[in-house]
Amino acid sequence: MSFLLEIRDLQVHFGRVRAIDGVSFGLPTGPFGLGLVGESGSGKSTIGRAIVRLGPPARGEVLFRGHDVLRLRGRHLKEYRRHVQIVFQDPDNTLDPRMRIGATIAEVLTAHGIAARRQATGRVQELLQDVALDPDFVDRFPHQLSGGQRQRVAIARALAVGPQALVLDEPTSAIDVTAQARILALIQRVRDEHQLAYLLITHNLAVVSELCEATVVLYLGKVAESGPTGALLTHPAHPYTKALRSAVPELDPATRSSRVALTGEPPSATAPPSGCVFHPRCPLSVDRCREEVPVLREVESTRMAACHRAEEVLGGIEFSSPTTVAASGAPAGGEIREGGDVACRS
Amino acid sequence: MSLLEISDLRIRFGARPVVEMDRLEVDRAQVVGLAGESGSGKSMTTLAILGLAGTVGAHVEGSIQLDGQQLVDLPQRAMRDIRGRRVAIIFQSPAMAFNPVFRVGRVFLQALKLHGTQSQSDAEERAAAALRSVFLSPDLLHRYPSQLSGGQLQRISIAIALALRCDLLIADEPTSALDVTVQGDVLELLRGLRDQKEMGILFISHDLAVVAELCDHVAIMRAGRVVEAGPTDRVMAQPQDAYTRELLAAVPRIVVTGANS
Amino acid sequence: MTDTAILAPSRLAVVRGHLRGNPLLLVGGIVATAIVLIALLAPLLAPYPADAVSATHPLSVLLPPSMSHWFGTDQVGRDILSRVLYGARVSPLIAVFVILISCVIGIPLGLAAGYFGGVIDEVIMRVTDVFLAFPALLLALAFAAVLPPSLTSTTLAIAIAWWPWYTRLLRGQAASVAGRPYVESCRTLGISRRRIIFRHILPNAITPLIVEISLDVGGVILTAAALSFLGLGAQDPTPDWGLMVSEGQSYFMTQWWLVTFPGLAILITALAFNLLGDGLRDVLDPKRVVKLL
């Protein structure tokens, strides 16, 4: 399958910190949703920004329709920016506070010659309706809109250039849950109407399961595993994915399962562990994990994982973690150790 | 008698009402969730319980009783005594809860000495024991907040609550700023506080899934009012109020059907 | 729970709302306008216009305030009221030019340093730092001493000492704004660099500068007065307020009116522009809640 957007061995360094250390994956042509999942320090936002050419110069390749975009400049860069757009996480600062909504969107249209100043108004109103906003909003300032509405303006603005791919960087993390649901529904609708491909960056597994056909799981700047979302969540091939999945709180008691607890603290990117970056916290780690960096390889058809014991994880091996919390319908009893000499987890 | 009993609580800014809460109770060895979106009044309720509503210019009327003692209109000196001795607090932003200029240990020991522990060595012992209880090394007391992760700081907040031997813990979105794997650890510790220390916990959150996993009872707030309350399992499985249903429907769930398999 | 939004009021209503909610702005604005009017109409308002230029009246020296001389007369018999009124043309004018020059130099440099960063930032800021290392008054003094004493020299000397403060202020603001998501969005949306700088960064970075400028009017007037005081600025018979205070200081204990009225003029002018600046900051910030009746 040829990808719309292909990332090959991407590396982004902030000084000595290797925020992204060799990441590869592909986003097919739309309509398609690819989830990029990770916790803080995983580098997921950095990847999204690198794709739209923000941030420090990246090494490796980002291919859009087969052409490397990392070294584009001037007119070609501007051309590329019509095809791939980004929506940021923070609705409070995503729009210029001194410009009215209509002007903000119209500015994009005129910058790319899509519409002259006079015709822009009609197009702007169309775009607002596309994102389910009242066209009267053209005269309002951002501070007169709620967070969810501002995000929708940001989406409308991104759609104004007619992109083929969208990078959505935690688009709903900073807004209320009901507004969140509406934004997610909007993304679904926009994807179908415009045949969009999107890279949905988030820490929320439930969101990717609803919106993304495939998912890439990141840990400390590297890909832990990737594959079709459903399969990845039900039969993970990497211990981190399994731990992540088990940690997600569930509304329905029937779907709760034992939590795989991870030892230690989330790692620091300035001093990454040797061998597999996950090994200090991994319940399955063995000597080999400390010495040898696992290669991202195909463990099943369409499933890639970077783990020496991926086949065992895929096979459903039991995790003998130091603290496995028992599952139950009611909230489980917790444990507080009383003083004394206890093996500490950090 | 419940540990915490709120009745007919009315909080307003000038003439504008922000909270109109008829009833809320928290018992010992129980976690009660206060769930709602932003602007629903959950944080204002917390401030009122702590006697801090005046600091943001809000006016409080009604009854908030801690083991029978009325907290509304209690003079600040008496409130200061209650905060820390009877009621402990954990905030959303662990980094902001600790003064970055002081080592964590100093804050800890100060809190202990302020609320009853006499000698330095006693306080140090209790602090170290409390840290071990939350699976942290007592060495961390020598660090500055900037040298610790969010999860570690939240666990230290819980350790302080443990060491102070408070009856009531108010946790205001304690896991919202944490990674989901770290969140699990913190929730487990809170369960421990409930089961082994028999603390009553008022858990404020916008995340219904977390509330569902942790809380025994839940009160759903909207625009300052409690629209529905009851045992968590019942409210989540059979919501009576339309808003509760809307909230529950909005929570994204892990689904494994159709396009993603 | 639905998303809520507030209705957008018209621009005029916004301004009226600000004026109603901020009486000090009103006062500041009125006084500042009055001063400008006085400066323009001085020849018509002053009872003894010639006194502001070269006239002297040896027979009427040091007369206390009276019906014929509301502010009294100075050591060579000139009517102080007339000189104070004409002075409104001198001191504020210096302030205007100093600030204008400082802005013309400081704003582009600050914007460039803040937006581009890197080498450009380093070069501009290090040069700025050299100027900032000296107290403004001393720097102005140094230049004023080198140049022949006159109003023009005063203006230039103070401007040289003033521009670095604007550069630094704007550079900080510009750098901060340039990092915000909406500016990053402009870049990813393909908006031209020029438009980003002038349409997005400048308006969002300029507000602290506007407040600073209004505070500076008083500051510059005081600095000019100090220079005149030391004989390095306006020379007699120019009706410069600072010069008048300087000339009157030896008479202060007995003939208090020589110093008091020019001094009050400085005070009131500085205060008026100060209030105006504070109020302007409120008006320019679209996020402030407007109290509409």
Decide if pLDDT at A179 tops 80: yes
Domain of C185, in residue numbers: 34-284
**B140 located within any domain:** no
Asked if residue A281 and residue A139 are part of one domain, the reply reads no
Chain A nearest CA to B140, separation (Å): 9
Res A344: pLDDT: 36
Please provide the average confidence, as pLDDT, over all residues in chain C: 83
CATH number of residue C242's parent domain: 1.10.3720.10
Q: Does A81 touch chain C (CB under 8 A)?
A: yes
Highest mean pLDDT among A172-186, B88-102, C114-128, C202-216: C114-128
Q: How many domains does chain B have?
A: 1
Q: Between chains, do A179 and C187 touch, taking CB under 8 Å as contact?
A: no
Residues A127-145, mean pLDDT to the nearest whole number: 91
**A290 located within any domain:** yes
Q: Name the pLDDT band for B23 (thresholds 50, 70, 90).
A: very high
Asked if residue A305 and residue A213 are part of one domain, the reply reads no
Asked if residue A154 and residue A40 are part of one domain, the reply reads yes
Kindly provide the ipTM of the predicted complex, given to two decimals. Answer: 0.83
Residue in chain B lying closest to A207 (CA): B252
CATH number of residue A119's parent domain: 3.40.50.300
Decide if pLDDT at A158 tops 70: yes
**B186 located within any domain:** yes
Residues B9-30, mean pLDDT to the nearest whole number: 92
- Between CA A313 and CA B107 the distance in angstroms is 44
Residues C138-163, mean pLDDT to the nearest whole number: 87
Q: Between chains, do C4 and A146 touch, taking CB under 8 Å as contact?
A: yes
**C201 located within any domain:** yes
Decide if pLDDT at A226 tops 50: yes
> Would you state the torsion angle of the CA atoms of residues C187, C191, C194, C197, taken in this order, to the nearest 10 degrees?
-50
- Between CA B47 and CA C91 the distance in angstroms is 53
Q: Give tens-digit pLDDT for B143-154.
A: 999 888 888 899
Please provide the average confidence, as pLDDT, over all residues in chain B: 89
- What is the residue type of B137? S
Asked if residue A95 and residue A34 are part of one domain, the reply reads yes
Residue numbers in A near C191 (CB within 8 A)? 107-108, 111
A230 → closest Cβ in B31, B38, B260: B260
Q: Give tens-digit pLDDT for C207-252.
A: 888 878 877 887 787 788 778 878 787 777 888 888 888 888 888 8
Asked if residue A261 and residue A141 are part of one domain, the reply reads no
Residue numbers in B near C1 (CB within 8 A)? 37, 222-223, 243, 246
**B83 located within any domain:** yes
Which of B142, B57, B156 has its CA nearest to residue B111?
B156
Query: What per-residue string of b and e applies to A212-239 under the rule 16 or more CB within 10 Å gives b?
Result: bbbbbbbbbbbbbbbbbbbbbbebbbbb
Chain B with chain C: Cβ pairs closer than 8 A? 5
Chain A neighbours (≥3 Cβ pairs under 8 A) are B, C
- Supply angle C-alpha A255, A261, A267, rounded to 5: 130
Chain A with chain C: Cβ pairs closer than 8 A? 79
**B150 located within any domain:** no
Q: How many domains does chain A have?
A: 2
Which of A264, A276, A267 has its CA nearest to residue A310?
A276
**B185 located within any domain:** yes
Q: Between chains, do A93 and C180 touch, taking CB under 8 Å as contact?
A: yes
Highest mean pLDDT among A145-159, A314-328, B96-110, B175-189: A145-159
Which bin fits B84, alpha (ψ -120 to 50), beta or left (φ > 0)? left
Q: Give tens-digit pLDDT for B190-227.
A: 998 899 889 999 999 999 999 999 999 999 999 999 99
Residue numbers in C near A140 (CB within 8 A)? 5, 8
- Between CA A216 and CA A222 the distance in angstroms is 10
For residue B242, the SS3 value is helix
Are A244 and B254 within 8 A, CB to CB?
A: no
Q: How many domains does chain C have?
A: 1
Q: Give tens-digit pLDDT for C45-85.
A: 888 887 777 778 888 888 888 888 888 888 888 888 989 99
User: Considering the entire predicted model, what is its pTM?
Assistant: 0.82
Q: What values do phi and psi take at A179, rounded to 5?
A: -65, -35
Choose the mutation target among C1, C2, C289 for the interface with B, i.e. most B CBs under 10 Å: C1
Q: Between chains, do C189 and A93 touch, taking CB under 8 Å as contact?
A: no
Residue numbers in C near A157 (CB within 8 A)? 185, 189
Share of chain C above pLDDT 90, in %: 27
Q: Give tens-digit pLDDT for C2-48.
A: 344 444 455 566 666 666 677 778 888 889 889 889 888 888 888 88
**A334 located within any domain:** no
Q: Name the pLDDT band for A11 (thresholds 50, 70, 90).
A: very high
Q: Does A13 touch chain C (CB under 8 A)?
A: no
Are A163 and A196 within 8 A, CB to CB?
A: yes
CATH number of residue B33's parent domain: 3.40.50.300
Res A334: pLDDT: 44
Residue in chain B lying closest to C4 (CA): B39
Decide if pLDDT at A333 tops 50: no
Q: Does A48 touch chain C (CB under 8 A)?
A: no
Residue numbers in C near B223 (CB within 8 A)? 1
Domain of B178, in residue numbers: 4-93+168-260
Chain B neighbours (≥3 Cβ pairs under 8 A) are A, C
Decide if pLDDT at B95 tops 90: no
Residues C198-204, mean pLDDT to the nearest whole number: 92
Domain of A249, in residue numbers: 236-325
Asked if residue A147 and residue A7 are part of one domain, the reply reads yes
Residue B115, token pair as written in the block: 């609320």
Q: In what order do the strands lie in the sheet with B217-222?
A: B69-70, B59-66, B4-13, B16-26, B225-231, B217-222, B30-35, B200-205, B168-172, B87-90
Asked if residue A249 and residue A214 are part of one domain, the reply reads no
Res C235: pLDDT: 79
Chain B nearest CA to A77, separation (Å): 34
Decide if pLDDT at B115 tops 60: yes
Q: Name the pLDDT band for C284 (thresholds 50, 70, 90).
A: low
Asked if residue A194 and residue A165 are part of one domain, the reply reads yes
Asked if residue A208 and residue A312 are part of one domain, the reply reads no
Asked if residue A83 and residue A32 are part of one domain, the reply reads yes
**C8 located within any domain:** no
Asked if residue A99 and residue A63 are part of one domain, the reply reads yes
